[in-house]
A and B are shown apart, each in its own frame.
Chain A
Amino acid sequence: AQSVTQLDSQVPVFEEAPVELRCNYSSSVSVYLFWYVQYPNQGLQLLLKYLSGSTLVKGINGFEAEFNKSQTSFHLRKPSVHISDTAEYFCAVSKTSYDKVIFGPGTSLSVIP
């Protein structure tokens, strides 16, 4: 079975500061990894994905994530956040790109002016 842990339920950060949202996963098989963002009262938007290849993945809105197989982690980073980054962020895993997705509990990012 697969599972996803997001250690931080809430992360406040000042505008223009860097941020890291942590994600750890558990799986007995190789997985695909995803980060989704959900703005207030909106649907889910894909930020980035790791399928294979380079362990550093770049996504939209200046976000990037690094896959670390030995630590089973897929942390999300941004060097300088904006007010508009305030949202809920979900880490997720899947066995394939078209299999069911297992989501983490989410991290609420609040950017403080």
Chain B
Amino acid sequence: DARVTQTPRHKVTEMGQEVTMRCQPILGHNTVFWYRQTMMQGLELLAYFRNRAPLDDSGMPKDRFSAEMPDATLATLKIQPSEPRDSAVYFCASGSKTVDTQYFGPGTRLTVL
């Protein structure tokens, strides 16, 4: 049963520290999404890639967030420096034209103190 994996599952850090979240999409999926879930904003898209190229990162604060796909099996989301308002659950999802929905990972729960 193919799944999207995310690491770490939980991260507690202090304000100002760098945070890196990783996502392994389902093999063969060429589109990867990063979403963020907070109580105040709900679920919102941060960025997404197709064939490793960024298609839309308008939801991402550019000054501190960066998203990359070093290769087809790994997507990363970095926050530097982190702030308490970044505390949220970050979901990765993957999909492709040959499947009829996105598949979500279990999420990374980030707490910035």
Contacts and interface: CB of A to CB of B under 8 A. Distances in A.
A98 B91 contact: no
Contacts, number: 46
Interface residues of A, number: 20
Interface in A18-68: 34, 36, 42-46, 49, 51
Nearest to B89: A43
Interface centre among B42, B44, B101 (most CB of A within 10 A): B101
Interface stretch (A69-77, A78-86, A99-107): A99-107
B56 interface: yes
Interface of B: 31, 33, 35, 42-45, 48, 56, 91, 93, 95-97, 99-102, 104-107
Nearest to A6: B42
A97 interface: yes
The 4 residue pairs across chains A and B that have the minimum distance between CB atoms: A103-B43, A98-B95, A44-B104, A43-B106
Contacts of A89: none
Interface of A: 34, 36, 42-46, 49, 51, 90, 96-98, 100-106
Main secondary structure of the interface of A (DSSP, over half): loop
A97 B91 contact: no
B99 A90 contact: no
Contacts of B105: 43
B106 A42 contact: yes
Nearest to A36: B104
B106 A49 contact: no
Contact of A34 (B45, B56, B101): B101
Given A100-B48, A103-B43, A105-B42, A46 B101 contact: yes
Contacts of A36: 104
B99 to A, nearest CB: 7
B40 to A, nearest CB: 10
